[in-house]
Amino acid sequence: MKHLLLTLLLAVTQLTHAAVLDDMKDATPWQATASDQVKASVRRDAKDDSLCLDYDFAGVSGYAVLRRELPLDWPADFALTTPLKGRGAGNDVQIKLVDASGDNVWWINRPAFDLPDTLTEQRFKRRHVTFAWGPTPERTLRRSQFIEFVVVAGQKSRGGGGTLCVGALGLEPREPAPASWPAPKRTRGAGEITLDFHTLREFNGLWFASGSPTRVEVSDDNRRWKLLSARPARALFLGEQEWRWLRIRHEGKTPPEVQLRDAAQWPDRNAAVAELAKALPRGDLPRAFLGEQNYWAVVGVDGGAERSGLVSEDGAIELTRGGPSIEPAVRLADGRLVTWAQVRSEHHLVEHALPVVQWRHADVELRVEAGADGPAAEPKLLARYTLRNPTARPQQYALLLALRPWQVNPPQQFLSTPGGISPLPSVSWANGSLSAPGLRVTPSEPPVDVRAAPWSTGAGLAALLQAPPLTQLADTDTLPSALMRFDVTLAPGESRRLGWVTGNGDAAALDARLAVAAAQWRDRLGVLQLDLPPPAQPVADTMRAALAQMLMSREGPALRPGTRAYARSWVRDGAMMVAGLVRMGETQAAREFVDWFAGHIFDSGKVPCCVDQRGADPVVENDSHGQYLFAVAELWRHTQDRALLQRHWPQVQKVVAWMEALRQSERKPGADARFKGLMPPSISHEGYSDKPAYSYWDDFWALRGYKDAVQIAQALGDSASAGRWAASRDEFEADLVASVAATAQHFRLDHIAGAADRGDFDATSTTMALNPAQAEGRLPPALLRGTFDRYVAEADARITGAKAWKDYTPYELRNVSALVRLGRVDDAHRLLAWFFTHQRPAGWRQWAEVVLPDAREARFLGDMPHAWISSDYLRAALDLLAYEREATGSVVLGAGLPAAWREAGDIGVTGLSTAWGRLDYRLERRAGGWTLHIDRRPDRLPGQLRLAWPGAGPLPRANVATQQLAWQARELPLPPGATTIHLETTP
């Protein structure tokens, strides 16, 4: 009945006034709730007839919710109105509309919303309401059952307490916009033109296709006028406007040709810049504004992710997260401009860490190098440009370095750090430095000329070259550009280097500082030494690059998957990074992360999925508990640091108790065998963000967590806890194995499902069963085999072009490890070779989170590099050399060394850390076979050292001195004391 009354009310008011949905004079229908450790309550403010949500984040991230049931049928177009006020700067404010199932959510999201001190009406239109999540294929809001006002700890939140007060909630039906608008009535006057659009028109900006506008005004009554711009740019972004009359003053007799740009055409300023870019010569603006994908690399110091720079594949350098960029160009003696659009670019890394862009052009070559030094809390960027004359005659060049108000991070990037423009209120030149608020760039030698132009005079290089000299420039559009010009004369083949540094550092010492930065990375990345034959060298190079990417992407102790889109720390990413770091000998970064993250575990023992500057995130992701336990245990296995376990023991006990309660909640009498004893549904698996699922990803991590909890208890001598947890481990493992079989039977599968309630296929998720869970021996062999048979078949279809593909994530690198552990080395290397073709650019040895078949298709890519993917690669590559087999306490050598590598030359591994100690070995190619040298054997190895000989070829005869050794299938158990094993292929 309530639903019917509201529907009738909306019908009656469709042609009259807004419907009052709730006058907020009664708090009874409303309920206040909050996430873990956040406090929330509701009260009525009688002074202005509002309801107030009082909250306290209490040092954690999270949310507070004001919710009521309010069934609504939504009109085709509408405005939702409500006055808001409050306190609590920097928090996000959301209005959520939830359907009757509770699964599907639409929202209005206002990040870092600055609430007014007094009730101020807010007006939200249908286009402001977007689908947030849920399984429904219907993404247009038509019906909702509940409404929520939510305060979320924002990225700029100050934490602590606050208040959100909501006044009368109204809904105003609106006439939808016509398919096409009638032409405006034009009235010309002396030096001006007025356009009457007949009715109120919504628009976000103005595009001047021709003419020289000098002033833009608007009115809703043709009497009172409001100034929009006193000096409009060709692309004038205004944000949301709604006016009937538009008056434009102009120079000359012909009025400008003006076109309105609505919210669909120009949803933001990036869209306005993109339209301008298409009207300028190609190369004047970044390719990202031309709708072409731009790729980039991180430049920074270990632990300094928050202040890292980015280098684009075209040579632009972003000065800080979300900050402006410096773009190079070269003017030739005849006036031609050489930009990224006229050159062939090459890419490589110095010491596997410092990105280089090399421009090739018939008349000029330019090498762009970037690095960083200084402490993680305040690193300084270093940039060097080497200009070379490749011609046979002397040349005069002008190197142009332009400070531009946009990021290298492209416009289609939207998470955490929205890409594209980077507004600057002003730029200045003084005392040999180019400055903007919060930034200072000092060139290594004085430029011959420094100029600057506001946005209104044009963003092209020609306009910038003709701009006035710079001392101080304030730009009302907040998009100024500045240009430093360096004139250089070069003989044939001659080069000259110059550059800049950020901050107050010594720019004259640029060369020495870059050399020191490179040497520091060489030492840092060289703990694990690899001597591999030429076919394997890209694998080794990418391993070192992956380690650098992980270190540069971390913020202090917090391991992060990225520096822009994913500037927060997930425990799942961190745990898997820890596994790669410790095997590479990088224990300090691993220890810092594990200790830091433990401090953010909730009092209940719930492990947050992630942590950022707001605190611990309360989103339910039931893989987190096993991942924390694994990270602690894995670090201990590699360091034998008993003090580490003692520090974490209180948290370990709480986490196991929390995990045990989750497990028991699914062991109800008569429970479906598919779900019995599993972790409850969650959205930890990114493919299940529409609705929580019984994800086996969670369960394989939980199994790992139970195993590790037992090991931790045993190491600390707590036999009671070890015994109790071992019983839970065994029961959980039995329930998990039974669930996998029952799910396959229920859905008639020949593979392991990704989730017990979905019966889907996700081999990349299933890899967790092999590593780290090491449960392959307990899973049904036919289902395990079927999983990776199907994965390989589908991957081969992509590789050969037999099946078109839209995109993929290089998390799939985990399958390389799984295939190696299953003895399928040829499949592993065929896939690995294909993954290598998607390193973009190839010379930077990195992957984005999303890979597209068309390298220039502009879409959201996650982060570049994506450090979690770097860790996936690192762990897979390390498994090629050696991996641990937990069930037998063995280390298996060489399971991923294909015949082509073994034939191509010597293979040496020095300093590889395992769970049972350090491993050094060499497999030397010689006439008639090979010699295996075990230079250092893991000193705590409980089982055997085993040499794998993958492939289908004949096995070599093996002996130690005169003792012949016996192969077991394609593995050779190595005698405990053996240091030299001969492998003979000749009779």
Residue identified by tokens 């440009």 is 385
Tell me, what DSSP letter sits at residue 46?
T
Determine the length of the chain. 987
d(CA 925, CA 485): 56
Return left, alpha or beta for 347; rule: phi > 0 is left, psi -120 to 50 is alpha, else beta: beta
d(CA 478, CA 569): 32
Give every CB contact of residue 801 below 8 A, 6+ residues apart in sequence: none
Extract the tokens encoding 290: 């031309």
Element at 825 (helix H, strand E): helix 825-836
| Sign of the torsion angle spanned by Cα atoms 769, 774, 780, 784 | positive
Extract the tokens encoding 141: 């809001």
Return left, alpha or beta for 305; rule: phi > 0 is left, psi -120 to 50 is alpha, else beta: alpha
Whether the bond between 841 and the residue before it is cis, its omega within 30 degrees of 0, is yes
d(CA 688, CA 809): 15
Domain boundaries, given as residue ranges, for the chain: 2-173, 185-266, 276-522, 525-881, 889-984
Q: Encode pLDDT of 551-564 as tens digits.
A: 999 999 999 999 99
Extract the tokens encoding 838: 């998607």
- Cα atoms found within 13 Å of the Cα of residue 740, Cβ hemisphere only: 26
Give every CB contact of residue 796 below 8 A, 6+ residues apart in sequence: 802, 830
DSSP string, 140-199: S--EEEEEEEEEE--TT---SEEEEEE--EEEEE-PPPPSSPPPPEEEEETTEEEEEEEE
pLDDT score for 191: 92
pLDDT score for 176: 86
Where would I find the beta strands (DSSP E) of 405-464? 426-430, 433-436, 439-443, 449-453
Cα diameter, the chain: 107
d(CA 896, CA 711): 29
Are 449 and 490 contacting, i.e. CB atoms less than 8 angstroms apart? Answer: no
Whether 2-173 shares its CATH topology with 185-266 is answered yes
Give every CB contact of residue 978 below 8 A, 6+ residues apart in sequence: 934, 960
Tell me, what DSSP letter sits at residue 541?
H
Residue identified by tokens 């890979």 is 851
Sheet of 495-502: strand order equals 344-350, 354-360, 365-373, 380-388, 495-502, 439-443, 433-436, 426-430, 472-474
Tell me the backbone φ, ψ of residue 258, rounded to 5 degrees: -115, 145
Q: How many degrees, rounded to 5, is the angle at CA 89 between CA 45 and CA 229?
A: 105
Whether the bond between 973 and the residue before it is cis, its omega within 30 degrees of 0, is no
pLDDT score for 4: 39
Distance from first CA to last CA of the chain, Å, rounded?
92
Classified by CATH at the fold level, domain 276-522 comes out as Beta-galactosidase; Chain A, domain 5 (2.70.98)
d(CA 329, CA 282): 12
Give every CB contact of residue 790 below 8 A, 6+ residues apart in sequence: 750, 751, 761, 763
3-state secondary structure of 415: coil
Give every CB contact of residue 614 below 8 A, 6+ residues apart in sequence: 57, 60, 61, 153, 154, 155, 157, 159
Q: Fill in the amino acid letter for 219.
A: S
Classified by CATH at the fold level, domain 525-881 comes out as Glycosyltransferase (1.50.10)
CATH code for the part of the protein at 185-266: 2.60.120.260
Rg (CA), the chain: 31
Nearest Cα residue to 106 out of 131, 138, 125, 139: 131
User: Would you call 128 exposed, middle or buried from its count of C-beta atoms within 10 A (0-12, 13-18, 19+)?
Assistant: middle
Tell me the backbone φ, ψ of residue 890, rounded to 5 degrees: -110, 155
pLDDT score for 234: 94
CATH code for the part of the protein at 889-984: 2.60.420
> Which residues of the chain have a pLDDT value below 50?
1-16
pLDDT score for 17: 61
Q: Fill in the amino acid letter for 74.
A: W
d(CA 887, CA 114): 57
d(CA 450, CA 428): 10
| Sign of the torsion angle spanned by Cα atoms 752, 756, 761, 767 | negative
Nearest Cα residue to 461 out of 273, 324, 284, 340: 284
DSSP string, 714-776: HHTT-HHHHHHHHHHHHHHHHHHHHHHHHHHHHHT-SS-BSBTTT--B-HHHHGGGTTTS--T
d(CA 247, CA 222): 10
d(CA 147, CA 151): 13
Extract the tokens encoding 569: 């720390």
The angle that helices 814-821 and 867-881 make with each other, rounded to 10 degrees, is 20
Whether the bond between 135 and the residue before it is cis, its omega within 30 degrees of 0, is no
β-bridge pairing 495-502 and 971-974 = unpaired
CATH class of 2-173: mainly beta
Strand partners, 149: 66, 95
Where would I find the beta strands (DSSP E) of 594-646? 610-612, 615-616
pLDDT score for 505: 79
d(CA 288, CA 970): 51
β-bridge pairing 890-893 and 945-948 = parallel
Give every CB contact of residue 883 below 8 A, 6+ residues apart in sequence: 771, 817, 820, 821, 891, 892, 895
